[in-house]
Amino acid sequence: MGQGQRSAAVTLGLPSWVDGVIGAPGTAFPTVDARMAVVIALARQNVERRSGGPFGAAVFESETGLLVAAGVNRVLQAGASIAHAEVLALTLAQRRVGSFDLSAAGLARHELVTSVEPCAMCLGALVWSGVRRVVTGARDADARDVGFDEGPKPPDWVAALEQRGIDVVRDVRRDDACAVLAAYRASGAPVYNPRRHP
Amino acid sequence: MGQGQRSAAVTLGLPSWVDGVIGAPGTAFPTVDARMAVVIALARQNVERRSGGPFGAAVFESETGLLVAAGVNRVLQAGASIAHAEVLALTLAQRRVGSFDLSAAGLARHELVTSVEPCAMCLGALVWSGVRRVVTGARDADARDVGFDEGPKPPDWVAALEQRGIDVVRDVRRDDACAVLAAYRASGAPVYNPRRHP
């Protein structure tokens, strides 16, 4: 192993089929329902194509509905436990706008739309990202029901976000998002979870 | 903007000077104190070279003390709010061992050593990473004292980790880690924080 490998970089990306789901650049998703529909379509395609876990997310401009960046779960495929849909969408959005802070001066207001309520890691990640609103589909309890762990979240995480000026809109197309979780379990794909190694 | 850009990948890496701090591949750090010393050296160099925030981390094999992967804060430089020292160290370590789960069967036990107690995001990230122990230097209150926000962590986060079989060792070289935080503040470098944009 050479010295160079020790400071090697890591690259996280999305499957090429994502472009076909989110449409051409400039496509706007005017309503919360339309934004959640495309995010759930990402999650469903990720299950059907066996390219990751049953989770999709995207960052939108709140006002215009422009989709800035999408994400799907890539933990197993990327060999990286941080590769949650939300982390990919937020990080790709920051690259797109050229700022680590999506609420930097001069930028449009941004929001994260995610097919399942965020785990502990993504809860922190979305606070640091600068999004001003979070829209969620399935509840974290729905994810736990199919065997996923949501991690050490504060019990009052919705209030914690709202105290930080981040609005939370829950249960948008919850049934559709739950159907993707159920399809994943039915597919027999692995419900990865370090908690299984006590 | 072409279609290809919408599913573009993001690459996160470390500055090349990191190799000089962590030593040649195969260097072992037998004690907890030696592990923390090198992690604090990473944080200090990151401040002195103005290559990121005052935070360093590394993943070690618990038994042998081998340094598997290092990380330093790169939020501003990478334009990515996820680029915390812990996230980089954990993700690079997973790439090194070839598994998204550092406690996968057949692997050595791994631990995360970090110069400051983890923020909300990194708390979740370390749970998903498969590390079995966390060793921390400065307290989260020390980070808040210089203006950094630690995010929506559960108040009983140490107990939450221990309930998941992750041991926590705190206050190792805490004064040295605090000195790096103070040096960062004294340098006039930005204390980034989305909370400043309510």
DSSP A41-79: HHHHHHHHTTSS-S-EEEEEETTT-BEEEEEE--HHHHT
B154–A160 C-beta distance less than 8 A: no
Between B26 and A89, residue with greater pLDDT: A89
Q: What is the pLDDT of residues B113-162, one digit of tens each?
A: 999 999 999 999 999 999 999 999 999 999 999 999 999 999 999 999 99
A136–chain B nearest CA distance, Å: 18
B119–A121 C-beta distance less than 8 A: no
Q: Which are the contacts of B65, defined by CB distance < 8 A and separation ≥ 6?
A: B28, B29, B30, B31, B34, B35
Cα separation, A36 vs B110, whole angstroms: 38
Best residue in B1, B81, B161 for a mutation probing chain A (most A CBs within 10 Å): B81
Return the active site residues of B: 86
What band does B192 get if pLDDT is binned at 50, 70 and 90? confident
B100–A165 C-beta distance less than 8 A: no
List per-block mean pLDDT (blocks of 10 residues) for chain A, which spans 198 residues. 57 94 93 98 98 97 97 96 98 96 96 98 98 98 93 95 97 98 93 57
pLDDT confidence of residue A1: 37
Best residue in A55, A128, A162 for a mutation probing chain B (most B CBs within 10 Å): A128
A194–B129 C-beta distance less than 8 A: yes
Chain A hits for B128, Cβ within 8 Å: 75, 81-82, 119, 121, 151, 194
B25–A3 C-beta distance less than 8 A: yes
A172–chain B nearest CA distance, Å: 23
Is the Cβ–Cβ distance between A160 and A154 less than 8 Å? yes
Return the active site residues of A: 86
CB pairs under 8 A between A and B: 229
Burial label, B21 (beta-carbon count in 10 A; 0-12, 13-18, 19+): buried
pTM value is: 0.95
Chain mean position to CA A107? 21
A101–B197 C-beta distance less than 8 A: yes
pLDDT confidence of residue B193: 66
Compare CB distances from B160 to A75, A104, A152 and report the shortest one's residue. Answer: A152
Closest among B117, B115, B108, B19 to B60, alpha carbons compared: B108
